[in-house]
Amino acid sequence: MKTAAGLSSNGQAPSPITINPDQASSLLMQKAFPRPPMKPTLFKLLTFFFCAPLMMADQTNSDAESETATKQKGAEEKTAFVFDEQPYFQRESKDGLREYLTEGETFEKWSTLVSIREIEGVEDARAYAFQTVKNAKADSPNNNGQVIGNEESGTYFADFLMFPPEGSDITFAEWNIMRITKTAAGIQQLQYARRFYDFDVSTAKIIKADREKIMGQLATLEIPVEAAADVQTYSYPNEEKTDFAVSFPAPWEMKKTKRGVFVESSDKHLAMNVFIIDTAEVTEEEESLKKQVGENFKEILWNDGNDPEVAGGDDVGLTSVTHKGVASDGEGTQKHLLFLISYVKKEGDKSLILLCQCPFDSVEKYGDTLDAVIKSVKVRL
């Protein structure tokens, strides 16, 4: 139940209003063939499943000077902002939504979250705030939400409590305050969310005591615009003379390996391997990787039983071969989506293989990011 948030004028909590919820690169490199965006389609898991790291036998630390991996934003992670005396760090950014957590917390389990969403084409901030509370009540019938706002400033706060769906493995009460403000392009929604995993009647007292303070801080909070170069890039053989390059979100962990890098998302749900291999061994290596990945599952169906997708060719000097896999536990329950993509140069003794693994119930979250990583692959021809 992560949602998102907006911006405003003064630091005073606004007075309540009556509401009715019913109302290319300098390296002269060419982009490798982009794959179509990957969206979740007819995938539904019965249980949540963590992504098993694709650590192959040769993935040990290496000091090889021929491989470099750089973070463009520096070695230490930068604090995005401080809210309620806590530093927050950016953990996700896509489709107009940026999400921030405190140090050490992940989307799997967090205590507080701040997010900001830009929503284009919406003109009425007040109506949007009302609809937000109405939707929250539809999801959680016991929720007594309210809208607080100032018609002069045009800033409104949606204040409500949410609970996980009935039958969920985890229980909590999630308090949300969203600052909703009109912008030139539409609506800006700034959200503060706090989860109580142990909650009782005293939880309401905590929320009541903190409401005015949190609302006042939200009224003046300004989240800096994210840096355009908020990525880290793996370059082979090095940054000065790059034949292959792949970019990943900066917060993700990237570890150098004997033949490339291993990368995983902050919540460890998405894992990727980049391998630099001899071109003459591409086909043999593809089969070897499929076999090694297959050891993590009982069954994997590659390419729906058909041939892999092929793009490019000798006429453009580069061929990409995409193998799509669906891994299951052997009982028909689909578990993971797999991609194994080879980028084979016509001229040159090295090629690149990108191996991706993601649980189906994380595909919606990471589909656009994974697509961006694939599209970031660059090859010098």
DSSP string, 213-263: HHHHHHHH--PPPPPTT-EEEEEEE-SSSEEEEEEEETTSEEEEETTEEEE
189-to-85, 186, 194 alpha-carbon distances in Å: 21, 10, 16
- For the purposes of burial, counting CB atoms within 10 Å of the CB of 153, is it exposed (0-12), middle (13-18) or buried (19 or more)? middle
Residues sharing a CB contact under 8 Å with residue 74, sequence separation 6 or more, in sequence order: none
Select the more confidently predicted residue: 197 or 94.
197
Burial 305-338 (b: 16+ CB within 10 A, else e): eeeeeebbeeeeebbbbbbbbbbeeeeeebbbbb
Backbone dihedral region for residue 327 (phi beyond 0: left; psi -120 to 50: alpha; all else: beta): beta
Task: Please report the pLDDT score of residue 69 as a whole number.
Answer: 56
129 pLDDT higher than 60: yes
Q: How far apart are the first and last CA of the chain?
A: 46
Other C-beta atoms lying within 10 Å of the C-beta of residue 274: 25
Residue 147 has pLDDT above 90, yes or no: yes
CA dist., res. 81 & res. 184, Å (int): 24
Q: Which of 124, 125, 168, 161 is nearest to 146 (CA)?
A: 161
Q: 272 near 51, Cβ under 8 Å?
A: no
User: What pLDDT does residue 72 have?
Assistant: 45
In this structure, of 168-172, 280-284, 307-311, 354-358, the range with the lowest mean pLDDT score is 168-172
How many CB atoms lie under 10 A from the CB of residue 63?
A: 6
Confidence of residue 50 (pLDDT cuts 50, 70, 90): very low
- What is the structure's pLDDT at 289? 96
Q: What is the pLDDT of residues 179-231, one digit of tens each?
A: 999 887 788 899 999 999 998 889 999 999 999 999 999 998 887 765 444 67
Which residue spans within 250-348 are E strands per DSSP? 253-257, 260-264, 271-278, 299-302, 309-313, 318-328, 334-345
Q: What would the pLDDT profile of 263-295 be if each residue is shown by its tens digit? A: 998 788 899 999 999 999 999 999 999 999 999
Handedness of CA 102, 107, 109, 114 (dihedral sign): positive
Structural domains of the chain, with CATH: 32-72+229-379 (3.40.1000.10), 81-220 (3.40.1000.10)
Does residue 101 register a pLDDT over 60? yes
Dihedrals phi, psi of 117, to nearest 5 degrees: -130, 135
The model's confidence at residue 141, banded by pLDDT at 50, 70 and 90, is confident
Of 20 and 42, more confident: 20
Alpha-carbon torsion (36, 37, 42, 46), positive or negative: positive
CB 101 within 8 A of CB 121: no
Cβ atoms within 10 Å of 172's Cβ, excluding its own? 17
pLDDT in tens, 233-258: 899 998 888 899 998 987 788 999 99
